[in-house]
Structure 1
Amino acid sequence: MIRHRLLPAVAGALLLAGCGDSDVREVREWMDQVQRDTRPNVKPLAEPKDFIPYAYGAATAPEPFSQSKLLGELARTAAHDRNQPDLNRPRELLESFPLDTMQMVGSMQKGGVGYALLQIDRSVYQVRAGQRIGQNFGVVARVGEDAVDIREVVQDAAGDWVERMARLELQTKESRK
C-alpha cells in the first residue's frame, strides 16, 4: 500500500527533472552573445576650462557697504517710484469706467471754471481739471471747448510707473453716426 502512494510522487519527481535547464541555457547563451557583440559608445569628456582668479583691488574700488553708496541707491529708487499712485486712497465715481467708454459731448463754464460734459452709457457727467477719471489713475489735466486732456499713470513692462497722456475729443452728431 505504501508503494501505491509513493509511485505518483516518484513519477512527478522524474517528470520535473526532465524539464530542467534547457530554456535557461538558451537565454544565457543569447545574453553572452549580445554582451560580446555590443560595444559601448562613450564620448570623451571635454577638457576642463582654465580658472583665472580675479584680483579684487580694494584700494581702487568703492566700498561695497558704504553709506554713501546705499543712500545713492535709495535716492535712485525713490526717483524711480515718484510716479507711483496712491493705491490705498478711495476711488472717485468716474475712476470705475474705462476711458474708451466715455464720450465728450459738450463743454460749459460755471463760476469761471471750465467743465466738460462726458457721456457714459446714457448718463452725462461734469468733469473739471484736477478731477480723477478712468481706470489708469487718470487726472484731468485740461478742459477745453473741444477736448479733455488726461494724464494717466500706468506700469510699463519693467514694472515702472510712467505717465502718459490721453485725450477725449468732442463728439459731434456727425461723428457719432
Structure 2
Amino acid sequence: MKHYALLISFLALSACSQGSEDLNEWMAQTQRKAKAEIIPFQAPTLPVAPVYNPPQPTGFNAFDFRRMETVKKGGNAPDTNRVKETLEKFSLENMRYVGILKSKQKVSGFIEVEGYVYTVGVGNYLGQNYGKIQSITENSIILNELIEDSTGNWVSRKAELPLQPSDKNTDTEQTAASANEQN
C-alpha cells in the first residue's frame, strides 16, 4: 500500500509541473512589455510676461523721505540743561488751581498737588510737558507746553488750568447753608 500512495503522489506532482510552462511563458512576455522605454521629462515653456512701467506720479507724495529730511530735527526743543522745578514732576491732571494773590504789579497763583499748596508766578514751569506759565488770571492759569511730534520736532500748544474751589470751602459752605435752613 505504501507503493500505491507513493505512485499517486508522483503522478499528482508530474501533472502539476506540465501546466506551469504556459504560466512561465506569460510571465516572461509581461516582463518584456513592462520594460518599455521611458520618455524623458520636458520642461513646459512659459510665455514671457510683458514689462510693466508704472506712470510717473505727479503732485504731492506723502511718502517722500527727502521732504521729511529737509525739516531740521529737534527744532524748538526745550532747555534740558536747566534745573527742573518741583511742579514739573506732576501731570496737569493732578493739579488744582485754588487761588490767586495780587500785590501791586505781581500776580501769584496757588496750586494744590497731593495735599500741598504751591505758589507759582509767570515764567514758572508746570507739568510734565515743559509747560511754562504765560499768564495768571482770576479764572485760570494759561501755560505754553512743548510736545515732541513724530518727526522729532517740538510743537508748542496752549494749556489751561482752570480755577477750582477748594473742597474744604464747599463743605463748610454746604454745612452753613444746611444749618441756616434748619433754623
Which interval holds the TM-score relative to the shorter structure? 0.5 to 0.7
Kindly tell me: are residues 138 and 49 of structure 1, through their superposed partners in 2, closer, same or farther at Cα, counting changes over 3 Å? same
Q: How many residues of Structure 1 are paired with residues of Structure 2 in the alignment?
A: 114
Aligned sequence identity (%): 29
Superposition RMSD on alpha carbons, in Å? 3.2
Once the two structures are overlaid, the 10-residue window that deviates more, 165-174 or 126-135, is 165-174
2:134 aligned to which of 135, 141, 147: 141
2:107 pairs with 1:114? yes
Which of the residues 141, 146, 152 maps onto 1:159? 152
* 1:168 equivalent in structure 2: 161
Cα distance in structure 2, aligned partners of 1:167 and 1:42: 74
Gaps of 5+ in 2: 1-37, 54-69, 172-183
CA gap 1:133/1:49 in 2 versus in 1, 3 angstroms: same
Which of 40, 46, 49 is the aligned partner of 1:47? Answer: 49
Query: 1:99 & 1:42 partners in 2: Cα distance?
Result: 72
1:22 aligns with none
Larger Rg: 2
Q: Cα–Cα, structure 1 residues 137 and 41, in superposed 2: closer, same or farther, change >3 Å?
A: farther
In the alignment, residue 110 of structure 2 is paired with which amino acid?
L
TM-superposed deviation, 1:41: 9.4
Work out whether residues 74 and 152 of structure 2, in 8 Å CA contact, stay in contact via their aligned partners in 1. Answer: no
Q: 1:48 to 1:154 in 2, by over 3 A?
A: same
SS of the counterpart of 1:172?
A: coil
Deviation at 1:154, TM superposition (A): 0.5
TM-score by length of 2: 0.53
Residue of structure 2 in register with 1:102 after alignment: 95
Paired position in structure 1 for 2:79 = 86
1:46–1:93: structure 2 CA closer, same or farther, 3 Å change rule?
farther
How far is the alpha carbon of 1:159 from its aligned partner?
2.5
1:73-118 deviation per Cα after TM superposition (whole angstroms, max 9, x unaligned): 6xx62xx644111223221111111111100011011352111110
Please list every run of 5 or more consecutive structure 1 residues that lacks an aligned counterpart in the other structure: 1-35, 52-72
